[in-house]
Amino acid sequence: MPLTSEPLRKLGFLTIGLFDEADPRRGHESTLEIIELGERLGFDSAWVRHRHLQYGISSPVAVLAAATQRTSRIELGTAVIPVGWENPLRLAEDLATVDILSGGRLNPGVSVGPPMHWDRVKSALYPDTAESEDFGYQRIRRLLGFVRGESVTDFSGTEGFEVFSDRVQPHSPGLGRRLWYGGASVRSARWAGEQGMNFLTSSVVKAEEAEDFDEIQLSHVRAFRERHPDGERARVSQGLVVIPTDHATAEQRAKYEEFARKRLPRTAAPQGPARMLFAPDLVGTSAEIAERLYARAAFREIDEVAFALPFTFEREDYVQILTDIATGLGPALGWRPAAPGDER
């Protein structure tokens, strides 16, 4: 098996947190149990994805607030919060609060752009300001400033019996260094680097100047680091769908292979007007998946991952996949499980 120059340093996973409309608590509870399992298995991070007006986590910050009280070590992230749905000032307050509750373990990932199905939701989301809302990078700049402690108002001090601050409270000093941008284009990669953010790259990229997924993703990693103050040390996390089968049953293996087969056609060429290009899902033994990952130039330039769990599987499937990642795939990539008190 070929070796990377650096072993995998941080191993994480991403879940969407599906639930049944008739029993939403059960689905949310299952997500929290999966995060707890991740901590027991030694994963460095657990990430949740949003799904507005769908049957998945609509409030990742609230779910992670609950997770802070059921875990003690694992980092907790969002991949990603589309800030077009958010007021940056209020989001900054929520993020800081959860980070304080977690003891400094929150890793908020965010992205820009108009909300999905904008024409259908704008009258409910922004009934009076829809046409004037800015869904570009400036929205993230506002969030960054608020999280990092910039002034919100020109007033602070005592008024009557109440004391006011001119910046977001609570203020969590380290949170500003743990903000991530989820980007799929060269422009976003450069912008995130210039802002001193961390960079999340996933299994979806924009085919702007090429149609080879690995080539595109590598260009994003390098463009980000070229603009980041930390250069080659700037943090990048890669999120691909990987499904190890080391301890899967024959029925599970067949289901996983069928899942990947149905999704494979979308990887052949860019999709839609935005020319989105998808990476193939990786199904096989830990050794086989490690070999395929090492063959990717972009993977060889990163030392952090947040592998995405397939969204439609059952709880027992997630337990098997996470266990195989932690005990098989991770070690094959040079990773070692975290222990209490570990500083990565």
DSSP states of 96-161: HHHHHHHTS-EEEEEE-SPPTTHHHHHHHH-TTTGGG---SHHHHHHHHHHHTT--S-S--EEETT
- β-bridge partners, 20: 23
Please tell me the distance from the alpha carbon of residue 235 to that of residue 298, in angstroms, as a whole number. 13
* Residue-range domains of the chain with CATH: 10-116+134-148+170-332 (3.20.20.30)
The secondary structure element, H or E, covering residue 31 is: helix 24-41
Asked if 302 and 238 touch (Cβ cutoff 8 Å), the reply is yes
3 state SS of 77: strand
**In this structure, what token pair is assigned to residue 179?**
């903000």
Neighbours of 58 (CB within 10 A): 15
37-71, pLDDT tens digit by residue?
Answer: 999 999 999 999 999 999 999 999 999 999 999 99
Between CA 265 and CA 267 the distance in angstroms is 5
Burial of 312: CB neighbours in 10 Å, binned 0-12, 13-18, 19+: exposed
Q: In sequence order, what are the beta bridge partners of 180?
A: 109, 198
pLDDT at 338: 74
Specify the DSSP element, H or E, that contains 250. Answer: helix 250-263
Residue 2: per-residue pLDDT: 43
Backbone angles phi, psi at 305, to 5 degrees: -140, 155
Q: Any idea what DSSP says for residue 271?
A: B
Q: What pLDDT is recorded for position 1?
A: 42
pLDDT at 24: 97
Chunk the chain into consecutive blocks of 10 residues (it has 344) and report each block's average pLDDT, rounded to whole numbers. 69 96 97 98 97 96 98 98 98 98 98 96 97 97 98 96 97 97 98 98 95 97 98 97 98 98 96 96 98 96 97 95 98 88 60
* Residue type present at position 176: G
Strands 45-48 and 10-15, by their bridges, are parallel
Please answer whether residues 235 and 277 qualify as being in contact, where contact means their C-beta atoms are separated by less than 8 angstroms: no
Structure tokens at 147: 């999280």
pLDDT reported for residue 209: 86
Give the torsion sign (CA, 115, 118, 123, 129). Answer: positive
Give the H or E element holding residue 306: strand 304-308
Cβ contact 200:181 at 8 Å:
yes
Omega of the bond leading into 80 within 30 degrees of 0 (cis):
yes
Q: How many CA atoms lie within 13 A of 268 on its CB side?
A: 6
Crossing angle between the packed helical segments 88-102 and 137-147, to the nearest 10 degrees: 40
